Amino acid sequence: MNVRKLLIAPLFALVFLSFKPIDKKIIVIDAGHGGQDKGATFEKASEKQIVLDIASKIKEINNSQSKYEVVLTRDDDSYPSLTERTDKINSLNPEMVISLHVNRTPENETSKNGHEIYIQNSEASKNIADKISKKLGNCSISEKNLHILRESKAPAVLVELGFINNTEDRKYITSQKGQKEIAQKFVEFFNEQ
């Protein structure tokens, strides 16, 4: 009986250790604004809610993928400060950071439409922006001195998903269909890395 236990214990340990879960690489999605900071608004639509909805959909769609784990800087209507966001990002040491935002111009209605991407002064950030631009539709990519880009140690981009004061953009980024399509494109981009 004791011999049997001596043989089974190492066998059990070997089988158990062979099923160790694979560590996924992390991608941080930062849903801009939150809490009292609504970001860009138009009537009842607010940037803080649009980007939170899209970030949540990205995480939900990505859950069935095995390559990356998506971590959100906020998953509710809270407002972590910019420093809290970048402290969290840097503690996770992610593969990349994507900060989601919505654009607005001063006038009530604008003909400007589409997305824009802001990058760090790095090839890795530019490479991410180029690939996201191909997924979402070609757009302007430019370097900008923003806290989330400057203070994130990982490659980071800030993506303006559309203009809240452009009727077509607003309809798309506030609709369930549009938000799901945007989220799906980001997950496709992750899986191509």
What pTM was estimated for this model as a whole? 0.88
Name the CA radius of gyration of the chain, rounded: 20
Distance CA(183)–CA(143), nearest Å, equals: 24
The mean of the pLDDT values for the chain is 91
| Integer Cα distance of 56 and 100 in angstroms | 11
pLDDT at 10: 52
Cβ atoms 153, 96 nearer than 8 A: no
In the prediction, which pLDDT does 2 show? 55
- The more confidently predicted of residues 64 and 90 is 90
Query: Per-residue pLDDT for 4 more than 70?
Result: no
Q: Which of 19-28, 31-40, 57-66, 74-83 has the lowest mean pLDDT?
A: 19-28
State what percent of residues in the chain have pLDDT above 90: 84
pLDDT digits (tens, 9 = 90+) for 62-85: 998 888 999 999 999 999 999 999
pLDDT band at 11 (very low <50, low <70, confident <90, very high): very low
Residue 187: name the closest of 67, 99, 94 by CA. Answer: 67
Read off the pLDDT of each residue in 25-43 and give the average, rounded to a whole number.
Answer: 97
How far out from the chain centre does Cα 29 lie? 2
